[in-house]
Amino acid sequence: MYKVYHRIERIAGSVITVKAEGVAYQELAQVTSGQGISLARVNRIDGDMVDLQVFAGSRGISTESQVRFFGKPMDTPFGDSLLGRVFTGAGVPRDNGPLIEENSVPIGGPSVNPSKRIVPTRMVRTGIPMIDVFNTLVVSQKLPIFSVAGEPYNQLLARIALQAEVDVIVLGGMGLKFDDYLYLKDFLEKNGALSRSVMFVHTASDPIVECMLVPDVALAVAEQFATKGKNVLVLLTDMTNFADALKEIAITMEQIPSNRGYPGDLYSQLASRYEKAVDFEGSGSITILAVTTMPGDDVTHPVPDNTGYITEGQFYLRKGRIEPFGSLSRLKQQVNGKTRSDHRTIANTMIQLYASFRETLEKQSMGFRMSGWDQKVLKYGERFEKEMMDLSVNIPLERALDLCWIILADCFNPEETGIPSKLINEYWPKKG
């Protein structure tokens, strides 16, 4: 019943062109060649010429290879049997488990009606003061870790995933190093979280089109769990590899690049994935924590730049610490007004003083005399870095806030902090 074509007109990159009739935009097809079988997807139609992205790439495809159209767009199986399993971006098991074919759901579906969204109000506790105190993570937030290659971002991702109290973890790996894939899998397994996880993994050596599919498949599955009342955490690492896959395919398709070779719709492409984060009224939620590595540690690079405009903040990971500057949780004010009355003020004050510390360090490095104030600030900054910023610190929010007051009182007089007098009276540690 499926139409089969035997003549391929053009082959370039991972895109092939066939002459075919009645084929729909985004339709799924199967390409059979000497190299085996691969899925493919229609991404341009010009009269009867149909361009397809071949998931496994075009290597080994001949002009005589066979293309069979399925008459429907791409979908993914869904069900509880996915839990504990690992798949490729194309949905093929990577773990020697059985193929799952139940209950197909479409991928890349429509977006949530904004009027059905609710204002998020639930804090995700991570035990990391740089997050809990200064940039609180919130259920349904979409937030990337901006990092240079080589930083322990996957470790941080895994740690937050474990600490967060969620029903389901969906991991989307893009261009993962094989070691990192094994690390994440072992970490979840060791900590008993694998049975509530699903993994869609594309490793650095897998075909590029599959990389592009990972977020869509992962998010489609997450959406299904969430509409069934589950709180889902989606981990996407590394979104820069996803963007690079988009770039590669756009160039193959001869699209005009806008910025450093990336296609003009990079923003929309990233946004349509990140915007899947949601808190459904009367149902579950999707929280997205991603990794965006910054080529050359450059935050103005198109991938982190576009990402920053889309996501609800970002954590900068640098030298093994979450940097206070540039890190942001845009949703923090939804929750930090209700945690403790000093939370917001402490967060602002500590950061402002830390900014003074950085300035003072600069002055010190230029050999200027350190005034009495400078000495105070230096003492403060060192303690802040050691007792707050160090990633090994793992304490609940309330203890972290108490610790902030202790550090402030050890370094400053109350009025030097600029904290409103009311809070000083309530929280400033009494001497003796």
Partner 1 sequence: MATNGKIIGVNGNLIRVAFTDAVVQNEVAYAKLASGVKLKSEVIRIRGDYAELQVFEDTTGLKTGDDVEFTGELLSVELGPGLLTQIFDGLQNPLPRLATECGFFLQRGKYLHALPRRKKWTFTPVAKVGDKLTAGETLGTVPEGIFKHRIMVPFKIQGSVTVESILAEGDYVIDDVIATLKDSEGKIIEAKMSQFWPIKIPIKQYAERLRPDEPMVTQQRIIDTFFPVARGGTYCIPGPFGAGKTVLQQLTSRYADVDIVIFAACGERAGEVVETLREFPDLLDPRTGKSLMERTLIICNTSSMPVAAREASVYTGVTLAEYYRQMGLNVLLLADSTSRWAQALREMSGRLEEIPGEEAFPAYLESVIASFYERGGVVRLKDGTKGSVTIGGTVSPAGGNFEEPVTQATLKVVGAFHGLSRERSDQRRFPAIHPLDSWSKYEGIIDVAKVSAARHILVEGGEVNQMMKVVGEEGTSMEDFVVYLKSEYLDAVYLQQDAYNDIDSACSAERQKYLFGKVFQILKTPMTFKEKDVARSFFLKLTQITKDWNRIEFQSQEFKNLEVQIFKSVAEAEIHV
Residue closer to partner 1 (CB basis): 190 or 358? 358
Which of partner 1, ligand ADP, none has residue 415 at its interface (CB below 5 to 8 Å by kind)? partner 1
Which of partner 1, ligand ADP, none has residue 238 at its interface (CB below 5 to 8 Å by kind)? none
CA atoms of 16 and 32, how far apart (whole Å): 12
CA atoms of 303 and 309, how far apart (whole Å): 10
CA atoms of 173 and 378, how far apart (whole Å): 41
Is residue 125 at the binding interface for ligand ADP, with CB under 6 A as the rule?
Answer: no
Question: Least distance from C-beta 428 to partner 1, angstroms?
Answer: 13
In the numeric block, which tokens belong to residue 356?
């003074």
Residue closer to ligand ADP (CB basis): 146 or 187? 146
In the numeric block, which tokens belong to residue 147?
């990092």
Residue closer to partner 1 (CB basis): 310 or 403? 310
Nearby residues of 343 by Cβ (< 8 Å), 6 or more positions away? 133, 336, 337, 397, 401
Of 257-286, which residues contact partner 1 (CB under 8 A)? 257-259, 263-265, 267-268, 271-272, 275-276, 280
Question: Least distance from C-beta 330 to ligand ADP, angstroms?
Answer: 4
Query: Where do the DSSP E strands lie in 277-348?
Result: 278-279, 285-293, 313-318, 321-329
Residue closer to ligand ADP (CB basis): 143 or 278? 143
Is residue 340 at the binding interface for ligand ADP, with CB under 6 A as the rule?
Answer: no
Question: Least distance from C-beta 299 to partner 1, angstroms?
Answer: 8
Judged by CB under 8 A, which of 96, 300, 365, 425 binds partner 1? 300
Nearest to 84 by CA among 219, 194, 231, 166: 194
Task: Reduce the DSSP state of residue 300 to 3 states and report it.
Answer: coil
Query: Which region among 227-235, 252-260, 327-335, 368-376 touches ligand ADP (by CB under 6 A)?
Result: 327-335
Question: Least distance from C-beta 350 to ligand ADP, angstroms?
Answer: 15
Which of ligand ADP, partner 1, none has residue 21 at its interface (CB below 5 to 8 Å by kind)? partner 1
Of 341-360, which residues contact partner 1 (CB under 8 A)? 344, 348, 351-352, 355
Nearby residues of 294 by Cβ (< 8 Å), 6 or more positions away? 146, 147, 148, 240, 301, 303, 304
CA atoms of 344 and 138, how far apart (whole Å): 15
Pairing label, strands 197-203, 86-87: parallel
Is residue 363 at the binding interface for ligand ADP, with CB under 6 A as the rule?
Answer: no
In the numeric block, which tokens belong to residue 429?
């540690």
Question: Least distance from C-beta 397 to ligand ADP, angstroms?
Answer: 18
133: β partners: none
Judged by CB under 6 A, which of 125, 330, 344, 383 binds ligand ADP? 330
Q: Which residues are near ligand ADP by CB under 6 A? A: 328, 330, 333
